[in-house]
Amino acid sequence: MSAPSGEGCLTLGEGGVIVSTDCSRSASMIELRGARLSGDGVGDVLLDEAIVRLIDALRGGILASLGTERIDLTDSGSVELETGSGLRVLLGDMDGALSRLSSLAALSRSLDVEEYEVIDLRFGGEATLVPR
Q: Is the pTM value of this prediction over 0.85?
A: no
| C-alpha span between 112 and 12 (Å, rounded) | 31
Q: Which CATH number goes with the domain that contains 103?
A: 3.40.50
Residue closest to 18 by CA, chosen among 96, 98, 129, 35: 35
Mean pLDDT, to the nearest integer, of 110-118? 92
Give me the domain span that covers residue 74.
2-131
Helical axes 94-110 vs 49-59, angle rounded to 10°: 10
The mean of the pLDDT values for the chain is 81
* Residue 37 pLDDT > 60: yes
For the chain, the domain total comes to: 1
Please give the residue that has the higher pLDDT: either 18 or 70. 70
